Structure 1
Amino acid sequence: MTYNFLTVEPLTLDTVTAALAHCLSVQIQEVDAADEDTDQELRNWDALVHCEKATVEGDVSTYLDIYVQESVRTQPTERELASAVARTAGTPVVFHAEEILPSAYWLATEDGIVTRARVYESDGEETRYVIDRVEAPVARLPHVTVGRIPEVVRELEIATPIADAFAAQLDRVSLEETGTAGTPFWMARSRLGAWEKLVRHMEASWAPSGWCPPDLYRERLDARDELDQVRRQLPPPVACLLQQALDPLDARFAELTADDTGGPLRKELPTAHPGSTASPTTPP
């Protein structure tokens, strides 16, 4: 398994070797760590763990490219190993998030916190990393802004089994129309998917993000409103299929929401449709 980490504090090869041996439950001699100054002829190419270390610039100091042989019994996830290395080496560890955004990262601290981080890479001759924002305070990064990172929530992979099944039914009716942007079939498929993502996200208490940006919440409410218009443009059999897909999602949404009695949601969404008075039981 391969891991790619950035550490805030600079690390020596000895520190890296000891940390990886401890975290992966292998002997120190089974870890081969090297940098640009290492004599390649002296390396242990049969080691169970290999690590290429490089010095980098910016808000981080060290880049680690780690490869763990399949024969190693301990095969942690990237999050688990990053957290373990942070604790063992005494430095925050930055690692890539699952989202496709190039700036989407996680940061694990030595005291056990794992938080979202927005990291930018410069395009200069030498790559420089800037930690632009974190969602929880990091003691070793007092200059970094603390705040929510909304763009990663939009990129979350949320399963939409009802919308997927509906899309498959549309494909059997007219694959071309379903795949052509702007057609009623395409609109029905895409808007249903957006609506189901909102319901599933609410159902999971906003996990793994822990929240939903108000503009995204509003956007997916609008998708539900648009489905009422799209349904009237569909052939009756397809409109019936759409309604069958909507019924369980609408019912679940109703279960998860409460009347916006005090108007807190309206304050977040000043342009909300007059009829959109439901707010999630867990605020976005």
Structure 2
Amino acid sequence: MTYNFLTVEPLSVDVVAAVLAQCLNVRVQEIDVADEDTDQELRNWDALVFCDKVTVLGDVSASLDIYVQESVQPQPSERDLASAFARGADTVVLFPAEEAPPSAYWLAREDGLVTRARLYGSDDEPRYTIDRVEDPVGRLPHVTVARIPEVVRELKIATPLADAFAAYLRRMHPDEAGTLGSPAWTASDRLGAWEKLVRQMEAAWAPSDWYPPDLYGERLEVRDELEQVRTRLPQDLTVLLRNSLAPLDALFAELTVDDTGGLLRKELLPVEGAASSHGWWWDRRPEPLPW
């Protein structure tokens, strides 16, 4: 398994080897760590763990590319190894997040806490800037502490009902499925977005533990679009869409409260009268609001 870490503090090859040995429960002699000054002919090519260490600039000091042989068991997740390495080396470790934006990273503090981070790299040289973190990091006092909304939009959320609808659409209406903007394509796309919202609400907003208000408003508008597009679908898709929406709408209603005070509308629809064409889902809200 491979791991890609960035560390805030500079570390010697000996420290990296010792900490990896501790984290992976292998002997330090079975770990090969090399930096720019290492003679490649002196490397231990029979090692169980290999690590290439490169000096970088900016808010981080070192890049570690780690490869662990399959014979080393157990194989920790990148998150677990980063957290353990941060504690063992008394450093701050960053590693890439699963989401699409290249700036999406996780950060492990030296106390083991893992939080979101936004990291920008330079195209001209190996220089990195930590732009934002979601929890304070004592060793990065200059970095803004705030939520990072773009990763919530890109979270991979399971959508079994939308997936089943899309599979049926591809099988029974392949031309419609492949036509961007067609009523059937729109229904499939919007159903997936609506199900993502409801599933995250069901999971108490995990894994982000919050939800951006602008994205929440977009997802309510998506539900409006589903009402509009359902009258333009073939009969079989109309029935399938209705059957897919029924459990999602019921779950949404169960997980929200009646917004008798209009709190949600005031936050998401600031223009007076703008909500007149919206569905009943605008009259309910999560309690508490997730932002």
TM over 0.5: yes
Partner in structure 2 of residue 283 of structure 1: 289
* CA positional deviation for 1:30: 0.6
* CA positional deviation for 1:170: 1.8
* CA positional deviation for 1:248: 0.5
Partner in structure 2 of residue 273 of structure 1: 275
**Secondary structure in structure 1 of the residue aligned to 2:166:** helix
Which structure 2 residues correspond to residues 125-164 of structure 1 after superposition, within 5 A? Answer: 126-164=125-163
Cα distance in 1 for residues equivalent to 2:157 and 2:28? 41
Deviation string 1:145-195 (CA, Å, 9 cap, x unpaired) is 000000000100111100111112222321111221111111111111111
Which deviates more, 112-121 or 234-243? 234-243
Partner in structure 1 of residue 67 of structure 2: 67
Q: Is the 8 A contact 2:265 2:275 kept in 1?
A: no
Q: Which segments of 5 or more consecutive residues in structure 1 lack a partner in the other structure?
A: none
Q: CA RMSD in A?
A: 1.3
- Would you say 1:260 and 2:262 are equivalent positions? no
Cα distance in 2 for residues equivalent to 1:282 and 1:197? 19
Q: Is the 8 A contact 1:17 1:31 kept in 2?
A: yes
* CA positional deviation for 1:237: 2.6
**Secondary structure in structure 1 of the residue aligned to 2:173:** helix
Cα distance in 2 for residues equivalent to 1:211 and 1:283? 9
Q: Is the 8 A contact 1:103 1:119 kept in 2?
A: yes
Partner in structure 2 of residue 199 of structure 1: 198
Partner in structure 2 of residue 248 of structure 1: 247
Cα distance in 1 for residues equivalent to 2:264 and 2:148? 20
Q: Calculate the TM-score normalised by the size of structure 2.
A: 0.94
Cα distance in 1 for residues equivalent to 2:288 and 2:50? 45
Whichever residue aligns with residue 229 of structure 1, its letter is Q
Whichever residue aligns with residue 273 of structure 1, its letter is A
Flag the 1:262–1:136 CA change in 2: closer, same or farther, 3 A. Answer: farther
Whichever residue aligns with residue 223 of structure 1, its letter is V
Cα distance in 1 for residues equivalent to 2:72 and 2:250? 48
Q: Is the 8 A contact 2:56 2:127 kept in 1?
A: yes
Which structure 2 residues correspond to residues 91-240 of structure 1 after superposition, within 5 A? Answer: 91-124=91-124, 126-240=125-239
**Secondary structure in structure 2 of the residue aligned to 1:232:** helix
Q: Is the 8 A contact 1:55 1:61 kept in 2?
A: yes
Cα distance in 2 for residues equivalent to 1:282 and 1:158? 21
Partner in structure 1 of residue 25 of structure 2: 25
* CA positional deviation for 1:281: 2.9
Whichever residue aligns with residue 269 of structure 2, its letter is P
**Secondary structure in structure 2 of the residue aligned to 1:208:** coil
Cα distance in 2 for residues equivalent to 1:282 and 1:66? 42
* CA positional deviation for 1:273: 2.7
Q: Percent identity?
A: 69
Q: Is the 8 A contact 2:86 2:108 kept in 1?
A: yes
Cα distance in 2 for residues equivalent to 1:245 and 1:57? 51
Cα distance in 2 for residues equivalent to 1:218 and 1:268? 9
Cα distance in 2 for residues equivalent to 1:41 and 1:167? 54
**Secondary structure in structure 2 of the residue aligned to 1:32:** strand
Q: May I ask how many residue pairs the two structures share in their alignment?
A: 283
Deviation string 1:81-129 (CA, Å, 9 cap, x unpaired) is 00000000000100000011100000000112100000000122x2210
Cα distance in 1 for residues equivalent to 2:240 and 2:74? 48
Whichever residue aligns with residue 140 of structure 2, its letter is L
Q: Calculate the TM-score normalised by the size of structure 1.
A: 0.96
Cα distance in 2 for residues equivalent to 1:59 and 1:263? 45
* CA positional deviation for 1:263: 4.0
Which deviates more, 132-141 or 203-212? 203-212
Deviation string 1:214-238 (CA, Å, 9 cap, x unpaired) is 1111111111111111111112232
